[in-house]
Amino acid sequence: MDVTTTPIPGLLVLRIPVHADNRGWFIENWQREKMIAAGLPDFGPVQHNVSYNNTAGATRGIHAEPWDKLVSVVVGRVFGAWVDLRAGDTFGQSFSIEIEPGVAVFVPRGVANSYQTLEDRTAYSYLVNEHWSADAKYTNLNLLDETVAIPWPLPLAEVSDKDKAHPRLADVEPIAPRRSVILGADGQLGRALRELLPDALALTRADLDLTDPASYDSVPWKDVDTIYNAAAYTAVDRAETPEGRRAAWAVNVTAVATLARIATQHRLTLVNVSSDYVFDGTAKTHTVDEAVSPLGVYGQTKAAGEAVTSTVPRHYIVRTSWVIGDGGNFVSTMERLARDGVSPTVVDDQYGRLTTAADLAAGLVDLVRSGAPYGIHHITGGGPVKTWADIAREVFADAGRDPADVTGVSTDVYGEGKDMAPRPKYSALH
C-alpha cells in the first residue's frame, strides 16, 4: 500500500493492492491499521455511501462538505477532481486523477470533491466521518469555473440543475479552519493562551460551567479541532475540606471526563494541564514515566484527570509547576511585601522551578502545532532548582531590598497552626 501527497495539503492518493485471479479481484478498500501505518489520518469513518451512475459522462460536484472522506471506485472508472476551498494560501488549488479499483483518495474537510464517470455502470464509493445531515453547511463551486478550469475528459452532459447553479470561485466564501477552544480563559494560563490564539473560542467560567453537563451543548464542537483545558480547581488547602474536596473532583475529574468523551466523539485533540502535585516529591527530579503518587486531594484529582485524559486518542497531558502569570501570584505578592516594607517568612525546604504562564502557553501551542507525540509531557521554566525562599530573596533584591529580610523556615514550622495540605518536597520536572 502506497500513500502519496498532492499539491492540495492533506489530500492524499492511496494505491491499494489488487488481488486478482481467474474469478475476479479482491481489495481491502478500507483497512484502518494498514492505511494509518501507510500515512492516512485516523479519520474515523461512520457512514458509507455509494453513488451508482448509469452512463459514462455523469458528472457530480464540486462539493465541499464539513467532514473528511475516503473516495474510491468499486466498479468502473472516474476522472476525479478536487479544489481547495479552505481559507489560506492554497485556496483555489486543484488536483485531478483517474480513479479505478485499487486507487482511493483521502479528501480532508474543506476540499471540494467532484468526479466524472468514464464508463457506464460505475459505482463510486465514499466513507465519511460524520453522519449526513440536511442542516450541514456546504460550500460549492461551479463545475465550469474558468479560474480553476478542470479539464473534464467528456462533455458535461449529465449534470444536475443544482450543480449547474453553483457559484464561480470569485464568489465562494473560503471555509474557515476549525477553531481551538480555551477553557478557563480568564485565568493566568487562559489569558496567556488567548494572546497566542486570538481566533480561539475563549470560554470563561461565566461562559461555560464545567460542573453543569448541559452547558457543554452550547459549544459548536463540530467546528473545533483542539481543546486547551486551562481550567482547574487549584485551591490546594481548601481541597482538603469536605466542600473543597467535592469541588476539586467536580472540576478536575468529572469535567475532564466530559471533555474526554467530547474529544473522542468529535476526534478532537485534548490538551489537559496537570501538576507536579501528582508526585509525592521524594524524587529530586520527576520524569514523565514516574508513577504518580499524590499526597493530597488536589494532587489526587489531577492524577485522576490524567488517567481520564489518557483515554482520548489525541491527547496531551502536560505537567507543569509553580506557575506565575498575569494576576496575583507568589512573585507579585513578594514584590508587594518588599514595596510595603514587610519582612516575610518563606518556606525554604520545597524545591522547584518557576514557570511563566506565557512560556507554558507557548509550549502547549507548540506541542499541538508541531504534531508532537501524544501522551505525557513536562513544560516548566528552566534554570537551577530553587526554594520559595530563594525566589523571594531574588524578588527583594530586584526591588532594592536586602535579601536577608526574607527569613527561611521549614514547611512544618510555616504550617504550624494552619490547615495546610501536604506538598511535595521536590517539584522539579525533567
Positions marked active-site: 63, 126
Distance CA 62, CA 141 (A): 5
Contact (CB, 8 A) for 318 and 272: yes
Q: Cis check for the bond before 97: say yes or no (omega within 30 of 0).
A: no
Contact (CB, 8 A) for 427 and 352: yes
**Residue type for position 200:** A
* Nearest alpha-carbon partner for 203 in 193, 256, 213: 193
Q: Would you call 215 exposed, middle or buried from its count of C-beta atoms within 10 A (0-12, 13-18, 19+)?
A: middle
255: its cell numbers: 469535567
Helix axes 388-398, 330-339, angle to 10 degrees: 50
Distance CA 123, CA 106 (A): 17
Distance CA 273, CA 288 (A): 14
Query: In angstroms, what CA-CA distances link 205 with 161, 208, 229, 244?
Result: 49, 5, 12, 17
- Please give the helix or strand (H or E) that residue 72 lies within, else none: strand 69-75
Distance CA 415, CA 422 (A): 10
